[in-house]
Structure 1
Amino acid sequence: MNDTTGNAADQDADPNDGRHETPTERLDRNWDEILQELRVIQTGTQILTGFLLAAVFQSRFSDLDDYQRTVYACLVVVTILTTVMGLAPVSLHRVLFRQRAKATIVDSTDRFLQVTMGGVAITLAGTAMLIFDFVFGRAGGVLAGVGVLAVVCMLWVVLPRVLRRRAAHGVGSTTSNDRRE
């Protein structure tokens, strides 16, 4: 976690990155970057939630067995909670707006986004599992759910950490200007 309070060494401040920004400017930049991520995640979670909520009104919904209904109900709960987490930074910003709490807003929103990404991963894997279970049977559903979760873990957890480790050790073709985040 980046320390954005300015009281300790700020991991986001690289003196060789060509930026000459104050801690406040850095917080503003970080907030702008987080807003872009929020736009993507909020849209995605709302679409997933809408899809799951609409599914219950489809004529074939009654064909689901007890296991599939349980999975569906769990997915609805997870996707609603994920949507709530993805929208929480809006409320946080509204309450703390003009309270000189930008560092708190940025740090808290970062945490909200991390939890939201976890909820999206569970929702994507569970939705794949439910659909493939319905179409191809239990084994197909489990295989699809595990497969999606494996791909998500590789792309969202493993790959970023590998790239971060490489960047920290100066491995790769990026320049210091490319590593400004």
Structure 2
Amino acid sequence: MSDLDESESARLTRNLNELLQELRVTQTGVQILTGFLLTLPFTNRFGDLDGTQRLAYLAVLCGSVVATGLIIAPVAFHRVLFRRGERPWLVSAANWAARAGLASLALTTSGMVWLVFDLVTNRATATVAGTLSLVFFGVLWVALPLTSARRAGPSGSGTAAD
């Protein structure tokens, strides 16, 4: 079946199923990260953190909780709106939540890299490591796909319906 033969309803269903499948990968990772972060204050070394490190920890923890909420939101949206004819809104909102969740995950992970490097080395090295981590996610998750899509052009393998 070509994209032209696909109905709007079938396209929305396919898009939602693809999005939910993609989110399964990130959901587990972000839940593990959040669980790990929740245990840190109960470790012996946590008391050694200075004020900046404690604030960074709290920012990273909040970012992880936000990422978890955003990445799991499409599942909740689907469950709340199941069989209510809201598929267009659902696909659009789920796409927005997934993108925002991935951005939050990139920031959170980069913040965690900063915190670990700050604990193990020094603040200057931590700043470089955290920044490089954020640049890595930006290049890998945003720049590379956009560059690839531009190179493929309008006749590429992707379609405007995706």
Output the TM-score relative to the length of structure 1: 0.83
- Select the residue among 23, 45, 48 that pairs with 2:30: 45
Any runs of at least 4 consecutive aligned residues in structure 1 with deviations exceeding 4 A, and if so which? Answer: none
Larger Rg belongs to: 1
Question: Partner amino acid for 2:153?
Answer: A
Residues 2-81 of structure 1 mapped to structure 2, 5 A cutoff: 18-19=2-3, 20-81=5-66
Deviations 1:88-125 (A, max 9, x none): 11221122111111111111000000100110010110
Q: Tell me, which stretches of 5 or more residues in structure 1 are unaligned?
A: 1-16, 171-175
Deviations 1:158-181 (A, max 9, x none): 1111011112255xxxxx5x4354
Q: Does 1:103 align with 2:92?
A: no
State how far apart, in whole Å, the 2-side matches of 1:52 and 1:87 are: 18
SS at 1:99's partner residue? coil
Displacement after TM superposition at 1:62 (Å): 0.9
Displacement after TM superposition at 1:27 (Å): 0.9
CA RMSD of aligned residues (A): 1.5
Deviations 1:67-107 (A, max 9, x none): 10110011111111111111211221122111111111111
Question: Partner amino acid for 2:42?
Answer: F
Question: Partner amino acid for 1:179?
Answer: G
How many residues align structurally? Answer: 159
Question: Partner amino acid for 2:19?
Answer: I
Displacement after TM superposition at 1:18 (Å): 3.0
Deviations 1:110-153 (A, max 9, x none): 00001001100101100000000000011121111001001111
Identity of aligned residues (%): 40
Contact 2:20/2:75, CA 8 A, preserved across alignment: no
State how far apart, in whole Å, the 2-side matches of 1:39 and 1:124 are: 18
- Select the residue among 96, 114, 129 that pairs with 2:99: 114
SS at 1:100's partner residue? coil
- Select the residue among 146, 150, 155 that pairs with 1:161: 146
- Partner of 1:179 in structure 2? 158
Q: In proportion to residue count, which structure has more helix? A: 2
